[in-house]
Structure 1
Amino acid sequence: MEAATGSPPGYGNNSDTEEDRDSETDFEPSNLGTKEYWEDAYRKDLETFKDIGNVGDIWFGEESMSRVLRWMDKAKIPENAAILDIGTGNGAFLVEMAKQGYRNLTAIDYSPASVELARNVLQTEDITDVTVKEIDFLNSQGKLKEFDVCIDKGTFDAISLNPDKTKDGKKIYVSALKDVLKCKGFFAITSCNWTKEQLLDRFSDGFEFVQELSTPSFQFGGKTGNSVAALIFKRVH
């Protein structure tokens, strides 16, 4: 699963007050957190791609991919590094990473239509050495291991909106991330629901903050804020 360009309905960075940053209050549940929503969305995108070759929306825009790729280059992530794209959506980011020379790419999504769409997009781009699997990250224990880099653009956001298991889902996500990421491996997350401070708190156990990536800012009421947070963490024991 991925978030569409910009901030989809039901998304939006939390208030940056101290009270909100420290609270565990979730957003109102939304169908954006359900598998049914994303399966329907990617089924339509798949039909459109087969008809006219349009891959659909790029989550958070093309710049969201470029900023992570720039970080990967500056961090000297090896081309053979094992990289996991969590909630690959239409697979657009896989294409960009492959074009940059990364050749040990794995992608997962719990939507069968997403997996089929991503595979079709990769095939059209003549990219054949990428593994795309139908896996629910929250139920991935034992199915994924030993990644050097894990990347999330919007999946943690969607999990946070799940009507059935918002709090449990976030905890399970962190546990699953610890399980699949190597010690000293990197985690890159882009979110439009959570502030930098909230993400630092959520990923404080087992992860070390590395850096914040620059994202567009806005001014309102004399204060400056960001509609998107993009952070890099390192897995530690």
Structure 2
Amino acid sequence: MDVATENVDVESGNTSDPEDDNCSDNDFEPSKLGTKEYWEDAYQKELETFTDIGDVGEIWFGEESMSRVLRWMDKANIPENAAILDIGTGNGAFLVELAKHGYRNLTGIDYSSASVELARKILEAEDLTDVTVKEMDFLNCYGELKGFDVCIDKGTFDAISLNPDNSKEGKKLYLQVLKDALKDKGFFAVTSCNWTKEQLLDRFSEGFDFVQELPTPSFQFGGKTGNSVTALIFKRVH
């Protein structure tokens, strides 16, 4: 489950409310990109395409989004047996790359049944049968996910923020489940095209220490420079 860019703020380079760059309970306009129905339909189509021609579908935020997190994991000396959770795994592309990179204790979750089926088929095609993929709604599994050394999110928090039903409550639940899932001093890697660095620092200020920002492509517009994607690393602290 990942999302595409909405309205780009030239000042910051990220999507945000053009009238207020601070966090609020109404950061973005509701979008179909925040609904389960949208993603179920999208991954059902990708599943059919993979079955027909073997195309794995779109890699959200591009391959570089995976590579930059993997480079950080190398520099941070994340051990190969670390328990890693891919939140909103989509087609499982990141799980494939993590497994090929040598990581052996991998779990991917998504609330889309079609996503889970697609990810399992792709992993099977890559002969990566030891990776766990579960159909699970991250916002409704408090207490079920525990003991992870690293949690990775590439667009799922974005989608939750766009949910037309109750994004305010969803963002609170996300933080609670994330804190419960991570070990003390475990790492959280988040990639977003909707949130600025400052907004993410504010959202994850409770229970987390900021570790570093990962470099992302920049652009210039009207004499100003910004980034269309933000990638940050946090550490869980109790």
- Which bin holds the TM-score, normalised by the shorter protein? over 0.9
Question: Following superposition of structure 1 onto structure 2, how do residues 150-165 of structure 1 map, counting pairs within 5 Å?
Answer: 150-165=151-166
SS of the equivalent of 1:230 reads strand
Deviation of 1:143 after TM superposition, in Å, equals 1.4
In the alignment, which residue of structure 2 is the partner of 1:116?
117
Distance 2:186 2:19 in 1: 30
In the alignment, which residue of structure 1 is the partner of 2:2?
2
In the alignment, which residue of structure 1 is the partner of 2:86?
85
In the alignment, which residue of structure 2 is the partner of 1:223?
224
Render the CA deviation track for 1:40-70: whole Å, top value 9, x for unaligned: 0000000000000001000100000000000
Render the CA deviation track for 1:135-167: whole Å, top value 9, x for unaligned: 000011121111000000000000000000111
In the alignment, which residue of structure 2 is the partner of 1:35?
36
Deviation of 1:15 after TM superposition, in Å, equals 4.7
SS of the equivalent of 1:182 reads strand
Distance 1:54 1:11 in 2: 30
Distance 1:73 1:16 in 2: 35
Bigger shift: 129-138 or 17-26?
Answer: 17-26
Query: Are residue 46 (structure 1) and residue 30 (structure 2) matched?
Result: no
SS of the equivalent of 2:200 reads helix
Distance 2:2 2:87 in 1: 9
Distance 2:237 2:19 in 1: 27
SS of the equivalent of 1:21 reads coil
Identity %: 79
**Structure 1: which 5+ residue stretches go unaligned?**
none
In the alignment, which residue of structure 1 is the partner of 2:174?
173
In the alignment, which residue of structure 2 is the partner of 1:146?
147
8 A contact 1:26–1:167 mirrored in 2:
no
Amino acid aligned to 2:97 = E
In the alignment, which residue of structure 1 is the partner of 2:197?
196
Distance 1:216 1:133 in 2: 32
Q: Aligned residues, how many?
A: 233
Residues 76 and 16 of structure 1, relative CA distance in 2, 3 Å threshold:
farther
Distance 1:142 1:215 in 2: 34
8 A contact 2:208–2:234 mirrored in 1:
yes
SS of the equivalent of 1:20 reads coil
Residues 88 and 100 of structure 1, relative CA distance in 2, 3 Å threshold:
same
Residues 149 and 110 of structure 1, relative CA distance in 2, 3 Å threshold:
same
Distance 1:160 1:130 in 2: 28
Deviation of 1:88 after TM superposition, in Å, equals 0.1
Distance 1:39 1:58 in 2: 16
Distance 1:102 1:26 in 2: 36
Render the CA deviation track for 1:141-198: whole Å, top value 9, x for unaligned: 1211110000000000000000001111111100110010011000000000000000
Aligned residues: CA RMSD: 1.5
Distance 1:206 1:224 in 2: 31
In the alignment, which residue of structure 1 is the partner of 2:11?
none
**Normalising to structure 2: TM-score of the pair?**
0.94
**Normalising to structure 1: TM-score of the pair?**
0.95
**Structure 2: which 5+ residue stretches go unaligned?**
9-13
Residues 92 and 22 of structure 1, relative CA distance in 2, 3 Å threshold:
closer
SS of the equivalent of 2:22 reads helix
Distance 1:2 1:183 in 2: 27
Amino acid aligned to 2:27 = D
Distance 1:17 1:54 in 2: 38
Deviation of 1:39 after TM superposition, in Å, equals 0.3
Specify which structure has the bigger relative contact order, considering alpha-carbon pairs within 8 angstroms and separated by 6 or more residues.
2
Distance 1:210 1:229 in 2: 14
Distance 1:14 1:92 in 2: 25
